[in-house]
Amino acid sequence: MPELPEVETVVRDLRPRVVGRVIRNITTGPRQLRTPWNDAWNDQLLGHRFLAIRRRGKWIIVELDSGSRLLVHLGMTGQLTAMPATEPQPDHLHLIFALDDESELRFRDVRRFGSARLLADEETLQELFTKAKLGPEPFQLDPGYFRTAVHKANRSLKAILLDQRVVAGVGNIYADEACSRAGLHPGRRGVRLTPAEVDRLRDAILEVIAHAIEHRGSTIRDYIGGSGLRGGFQEEFRVYGRTGEPCKTCGSAISRLVIAGRSSHFCPDCQRMNGRGAKSTSRIVKRSPRE
**Which of 24, 112, 117, 262 is the catalytic position?**
262
* Catalytic residue flag (residue 84): no
Angle at 260 between CA 60 and CA 279, to 5 degrees: 90
* Catalytic residue flag (residue 207): no
Region for 241 from its dihedrals, namely left if φ exceeds 0, alpha if ψ lies in -120 to 50, beta otherwise: left
> Distance between CA 58 and CA 2 in Å, rounded?
7
**Which of 17, 55, 58, 69 is the catalytic position?**
58
> Distance between CA 49 and CA 150 in Å, rounded?
43
Residue 207, judged by CB atoms within 10 A of its CB (0-12, 13-18, 19+), counts as buried
Residue 85: count other Cβ atoms within 10 Å of its Cβ.
13
* Catalytic residue flag (residue 268): no
* Catalytic residue flag (residue 55): no
Contact yes or no for 202/277 (Cβ under 8 A): no
Just list the catalytic residues: 2-3, 58, 262
